[in-house]
Chains A and B, each alone.
Chain A
Amino acid sequence: MAGHSVVGKSIIRLDALDKVTGKAKYCEDLKLPGMLYGKVLRSPYPHAHITSIDTSRAENISGVRAVITGRDVPEKRYGPSVFDQHTLARRVVRYVGDPVAAVAADSVEVAERALGLLKVEYEKLPAIFDIEEAWEKNPPVIVHRDLPKYELGKFPPLRLVPDRPNVCHLRMLRHGDVERGFKEADLIVENKFTTTRIQHCPFEPHGSIAQAESDGSLTIWAGRQSIFLARQYLCKLFDLLPSQVRVIASHYIGGGFGSKVTLYTEPIGVMLSMKTGRPVKLTFSREEMFSSGGTRIPFVIRIRDGVKKDGTLVARDMEMLLGMGAYAGSGPLITRNCIYGAVATYRIPNAKIDAYAVYTNEPPVTSFRGFGSSQVLWAIESQMDVIAEELGLDAVELRRKNLLEEGDTNITGEIVHSIGIRECLDKVAESLEGSPKSKMEGGPWRRGKGLALGNKYSMAPTAAVAIVKVKGDGTIEVHESADEIGQGCHTVLAQIAAEEFGVSVDEVKMVWGDTAFTPYFSRGSTSQRTTFNVGNAIRLACQDAKRQIFEIAAEKVHAQIQDMDIKDGAIYVRSDPSQRISVTELFTSERALSPGEFGDYVEPSAEILGKGVWVTRPAPSDPETAQIPENVARMGGRLAGFFGYGVQGVEVLVNIETGEVKVEKVVAASDVGYPLNPKMCEQQIEGGVAMGIGSALWEEVALDKGKVVNPNFGNYKIVTSINMPKIENVKVFLVSAPHKEGPYGAKGTGETQMTPTAPAVANAIYNAVGVRIKDLPITRERVFRVLREKAGG
């Protein structure tokens, strides 16, 4: 976009210097005077009664300051949607890894030793692991017998299904008449796809320091996403008021990817601190991250599509079962929102979706980059290639034919705005064109290419507030509460403030999140909402501060406020830029201050305060059908803040003797609205692609009767430097379909990026060797087995 001097440029990240010199501090690096270290004893059984706990031997170890069990914690349950979880299990454990007791000690080593001396007796109960079995009407095991009596949160409003006792939420979408649609179809294609559990693997494990203050209030230093959500959850659990809980962002956060939204360490840390009066640091080991730190939701998806001969989609019916594990966490919200993955790409006249949140005795799940959209798109984008094949159409053309366009109505009734997916598709298809669809390579290797479309909404409602202080030295100080989880939010937000004031980012100082000092940001840096929402709040705050500055300056240079502008620390008259005054001059008193007198000057030590409030509101939609009323949609009523779009194409090599798959080339195009910092957009895309490749080919938290058998990087394989294509074979395109409300048109982009990767890989494998894998991950064993079956049959 023309005329911008700071946004739209790849400004060097403000955090980079701290991070390459080792000066960056994370929660795990913080130490407080008198600090104790907490450790948690976890259930070895997937489902059991606790019959007794003997803590006496552990309590007698030198250096142990507190031991707590379920008897010590609130009777009240907590959770983001279903209040289904005790801080420590009180009577029943429901997964391998359920917290049973906790110790605070002078050192981690002493705490771990004490855990070994806790004696817990269990009476084993039958457990259930299969999502489809758990979903049945008369399941052999009910994970939460008291579910109908549990308190339910308000967001989202939950729908239990009385005759399916392990279901804690059912989300429904009804659009058009799906049965009529199938009658009109020339071809009906039905398939079942599944996804597995993957772990976020943020490099800094979950951690916090909790201090129970003497007045009953709490102070928490947390390496997490969303300090205000943590405050909300802790207030609810401990019956405190918002002003009694202070959550401080522990400066940098070593990755999030959705995993750090839920409370994992904080409640137990608080209980240990209450008992000892001392600050308690509780950090998960890598093994605990896998067993108890949340995973992506495994989905079972049945998809049935009706199409005309020419490829026009006329009906889509999806039934999805989402495995919550033992506690729902953010799972019901994902159950509500995952259907948006099916909403945003294609024009479908008749659609029906049912999504069920299902409890099992497996480890609890949580939000994960994509928030359900990745899993839904795994099914849809694999299915699109299946349909193209059956109709004898080109897979790209089939997609082009059905794409939503600006101004179209999607299957929730929302009118589509800011959709750059066609341009993304064109870019990727063109870039892949040079290579053949499939090809023999040397020896056992076969080459194939494939692509897939992705999208990810940003959740509404969202409220973000920013305060901008203009200091006497000309510095612009920005107060906001975004979480620096590695995405570089503070750099982009500083660019926005710098742009508004016409200065370089060096003149902008960002203040870190602290619920006691920085302003409200409802759900923090989750749902790729930061740039859009906090960015807008900052723009408004800058405008508010500038209005005040212009008022003072106008009087000084005898000009009209509306004629004034600001650049490089000086306020000037647009029609006559020689009439100017520097920001610092505003702060110089021309005469002595008389009591009560303000107006044409401010004192040198003062500051000018601008405030901006930005709220993104969703339209009301029918709980039975997920439809936005037509009149509301016409007035601009929307489902979400915005949709980000991405298309990815890959070239793979498949070894027909071993089933091994190598990703040789990636082409990724992403509609970011407007790239505020192009290099940082690329960072998100490349990182999303890598995580997507891992999820496609290897990543699986493997469970044996509910127990994680690969809880560390030794046998849970994330993408390494040799799994990614060479630099010259990773091509990234940034596409801009500006959003009318986005700051400079920008939309968030962190989550969109891994939504198309896995189906693109699967489609490429199909094109290489003619086998369709419908279950993630596409391990070499799976490919090998299906190749063998194909050869045999």
Chain B
Amino acid sequence: MPCEEVTYMKQRLELKVNGQTYEVLVDPWQSLADVLREELGFTGVKVSCNSGNCGSCTVLLDGKAVKSCIMFAPLAKGKEILTIEGLATESGLHPLQEAFIEHFAVQCGYCTPGMILMAKALLDENLDATEDEIREGLVGNLCRCTGYVKIVEAIMAAKEKMKVTSSH
């Protein structure tokens, strides 16, 4: 039987999201996804399964992909959080964003932010990733609309663009 009155203290938490610092009051059990979406308005962070199985909520923490729906928000303290809203820069869209548009890798769009961020983590780690390695890397990011064909195509194309940029 759950107890009727739960007493707890909200915690003051400083989060660095897309290069800016935010101060929020959070419940100790709140997930990072919940805080990003509901407290800070980063609704590009999508929650679909809320159990760490689908990857829609993927964000980058110091460049590493995490599933923000199963991570307590306080654990992100002191880390650089990147959400989809922070991926484009003043000079334009990220090559992955461009490639997802040009290669028709987007349908309903609910998995897209997590998919793009996962792909970024993969390519930042290994710009020579093969199709098989990309597929292995995306296995925790599910998509119900596309069959992954155009997603993988887009990532392969973005990879080539990113290689050119990184060699300059």
CB distance from B27 to the nearest CB of A (A): 7
Assembled-state Cα–Cα distance A109/B50 (Å): 14
Assembled-state Cα–Cα distance A726/B48 (Å): 26
Interface centre among B5, B44, B107, B132 (most CB of A within 10 A): B107
- Residues 10-55 of A at the B interface (beta carbon under 8 Å): 10, 12-13, 15-26, 28-29
B74-111: CB near A (< 8 Å → 1, else 0) gives 00000000011101100001001100111010111111
Return the chain B residue nearest A58 by Cβ: B4
Return the chain B residue nearest A730 by Cβ: B149
Stretch at the interface among A454-462, A552-560, A609-617, A687-695: A687-695
Assembled-state Cα–Cα distance A733/B50 (Å): 37
In the bound complex, residues from chain A placing their C-beta under 8 Å from that of B101 are: 12-13, 16-17, 20
In the bound complex, residues from chain A placing their C-beta under 8 Å from that of B47 are: 28
In the bound complex, residues from chain A placing their C-beta under 8 Å from that of B136 are: 721-722
Assess the B144–A255 pair: CB atoms within 8 A.
Answer: yes
Interface centre among B49, B53, B85, B136 (most CB of A within 10 A): B49
> CB < 8 Å: which of A29, A486, A718, A730 contacts B108?
A486
Assembled-state Cα–Cα distance A587/B2 (Å): 68
Assess the B53–A714 pair: CB atoms within 8 A.
Answer: yes
Q: Beyond A21-B93, A721-B141, is A255–B53 a contact (Cβ under 8 Å)? A: no
Assess the A724–B148 pair: CB atoms within 8 A.
Answer: yes
CB distance from B38 to the nearest CB of A (A): 8
In the bound complex, residues from chain A placing their C-beta under 8 Å from that of B46 are: 26, 203-204, 254
CB distance from B123 to the nearest CB of A (A): 15
13 additional contacts (CB under 8 A) given A21-B84, A61-B5, A201-B144: A18-B109, A20-B100, A22-B84, A62-B5, A203-B110, A683-B145, A687-B145, A687-B146, A690-B147, A690-B148, A713-B142, A720-B142, A721-B138
CB distance from A52 to the nearest CB of B (A): 17
Return the chain A residue nearest B96 by Cβ: A20
B131 within 8 A of A: yes
Return the chain B residue nearest A31 by Cβ: B38
In the bound complex, residues from chain A placing their C-beta under 8 Å from that of B132 are: 726
Assess the B144–A257 pair: CB atoms within 8 A.
Answer: yes
Q: Beyond A255-B145, A722-B136, is A485–B108 a contact (Cβ under 8 Å)? A: yes
23 pairs across A/B with beta carbons < 8 Å? Answer: A13-B106, A16-B100, A16-B106, A17-B101, A20-B84, A20-B100, A20-B106, A20-B112, A22-B84, A22-B113, A23-B85, A26-B110, A202-B144, A252-B109, A286-B49, A486-B145, A488-B107, A712-B49, A714-B51, A719-B148, A722-B139, A724-B135, A726-B132
In the bound complex, residues from chain A placing their C-beta under 8 Å from that of B106 are: 13, 15-16, 19-20
B58 within 8 A of A: no
B6 within 8 A of A: yes
A702 within 8 A of B: no
In the bound complex, residues from chain A placing their C-beta under 8 Å from that of B37 are: 29
> CB < 8 Å: which of A24, A113, A204 contacts B48?
A204
Assess the A19–B148 pair: CB atoms within 8 A.
Answer: no
Assembled-state Cα–Cα distance A696/B49 (Å): 23
A285 within 8 A of B: yes
Assess the A203–B146 pair: CB atoms within 8 A.
Answer: no
Assembled-state Cα–Cα distance A88/B45 (Å): 32
CB distance from B70 to the nearest CB of A (A): 11
Assembled-state Cα–Cα distance A252/B83 (Å): 20
Interface centre among A10, A62, A722 (most CB of B within 10 A): A722
CB distance from B61 to the nearest CB of A (A): 17
Assess the B51–A713 pair: CB atoms within 8 A.
Answer: yes
B140-157: CB near A (< 8 Å → 1, else 0) gives 011111111111110010
Return the chain B residue nearest A252 by Cβ: B109
A686 within 8 A of B: yes
Return the chain B residue nearest A694 by Cβ: B144
CB distance from B125 to the nearest CB of A (A): 17
Say whether chain B's binding surface is mostly helix, strand, loop, or mixed. loop
Assembled-state Cα–Cα distance A400/B52 (Å): 48
A679 within 8 A of B: yes
In the bound complex, residues from chain B placing their C-beta under 8 Å from that of A722 are: 135-136, 139
CB distance from A145 to the nearest CB of B (A): 35
Assess the B108–A253 pair: CB atoms within 8 A.
Answer: yes
B68 within 8 A of A: no
Interface size (B, Cβ < 8 Å)? 62
Assess the B109–A15 pair: CB atoms within 8 A.
Answer: yes
In the bound complex, residues from chain A placing their C-beta under 8 Å from that of B145 are: 203, 255, 486, 683, 687
Q: Beyond A113-B2, A714-B53, A727-B152, is A689–B139 a contact (Cβ under 8 Å)? A: no
In the bound complex, residues from chain B placing their C-beta under 8 Å from that of A13 are: 101, 104, 106
In the bound complex, residues from chain B placing their C-beta under 8 Å from that of A488 are: 107
- Residues 668-723 of A at the B interface (beta carbon under 8 Å): 679-680, 682-683, 686-691, 712-714, 718-722
In the bound complex, residues from chain B placing their C-beta under 8 Å from that of A724 are: 135, 147-149
Return the chain A residue nearest B112 by Cβ: A19
Return the chain A residue nearest B141 by Cβ: A721
In the bound complex, residues from chain B placing their C-beta under 8 Å from that of A252 are: 108-109
A117 within 8 A of B: yes
Return the chain A residue nearest B151 by Cβ: A721
Assembled-state Cα–Cα distance A704/B17 (Å): 44
> CB < 8 Å: which of B85, B108, B144, B147 contacts A22?
B85
Assembled-state Cα–Cα distance A719/B139 (Å): 9
Assembled-state Cα–Cα distance A691/B110 (Å): 17
In the bound complex, residues from chain B placing their C-beta under 8 Å from that of A61 are: 4-5
Assess the A116–B2 pair: CB atoms within 8 A.
Answer: yes
Assess the B97–A20 pair: CB atoms within 8 A.
Answer: yes
Return the chain B residue nearest A693 by Cβ: B147
Return the chain A residue nearest B98 by Cβ: A20
In the bound complex, residues from chain B placing their C-beta under 8 Å from that of A691 are: 144, 147
Assembled-state Cα–Cα distance A593/B111 (Å): 54
Assess the B144–A60 pair: CB atoms within 8 A.
Answer: no
Assess the A254–B108 pair: CB atoms within 8 A.
Answer: yes
State the 5 A-B residue pairs at the shortest beta-carbon distance, nearest first.
A22-B44, A486-B108, A690-B147, A19-B109, A203-B110
In the bound complex, residues from chain A placing their C-beta under 8 Å from that of B143 are: 203
A4 within 8 A of B: no
Q: Beyond A13-B104, A21-B97, A727-B131, is A720–B109 a contact (Cβ under 8 Å)? A: no
Assess the B53–A254 pair: CB atoms within 8 A.
Answer: no
A524 within 8 A of B: no
> CB < 8 Å: which of A205, A485, A682 contacts B104?
A682
Interface centre among B4, B101, B110, B112 (most CB of A within 10 A): B110
Return the chain A residue nearest B156 by Cβ: A727
Return the chain B residue nearest A691 by Cβ: B144
Interface centre among B46, B84, B144 (most CB of A within 10 A): B144
A204-242: CB near B (< 8 Å → 1, else 0) gives 110000000000000000000000000000000000000
Assess the A683–B107 pair: CB atoms within 8 A.
Answer: yes
In the bound complex, residues from chain A placing their C-beta under 8 Å from that of B149 are: 686, 724, 727, 730
- Residues 459-509 of A at the B interface (beta carbon under 8 Å): 485-488
In the bound complex, residues from chain A placing their C-beta under 8 Å from that of B100 are: 16, 20
B60 within 8 A of A: no
Return the chain A residue nearest B109 by Cβ: A19
- Residues 26-67 of B at the A interface (beta carbon under 8 Å): 27, 37, 42-51, 53-54, 56
Assess the A487–B54 pair: CB atoms within 8 A.
Answer: no
- Residues 98-135 of A at the B interface (beta carbon under 8 Å): 109, 113, 116-117
A57 within 8 A of B: yes
In the bound complex, residues from chain A placing their C-beta under 8 Å from that of B142 are: 203, 713, 718, 720
B73 within 8 A of A: no
Assess the B147–A686 pair: CB atoms within 8 A.
Answer: yes
B1-35: CB near A (< 8 Å → 1, else 0) gives 11011100000000000000000000100000000
In the bound complex, residues from chain A placing their C-beta under 8 Å from that of B87 are: 21
Assembled-state Cα–Cα distance A686/B106 (Å): 12
Assembled-state Cα–Cα distance A719/B150 (Å): 15
In the bound complex, residues from chain B placing their C-beta under 8 Å from that of A679 are: 104
Assess the B107–A487 pair: CB atoms within 8 A.
Answer: yes
Interface centre among B102, B150, B153, B156 (most CB of A within 10 A): B150
Return the chain B residue nearest A686 by Cβ: B147
Return the chain B residue nearest A16 by Cβ: B101
CB distance from B53 to the nearest CB of A (A): 4
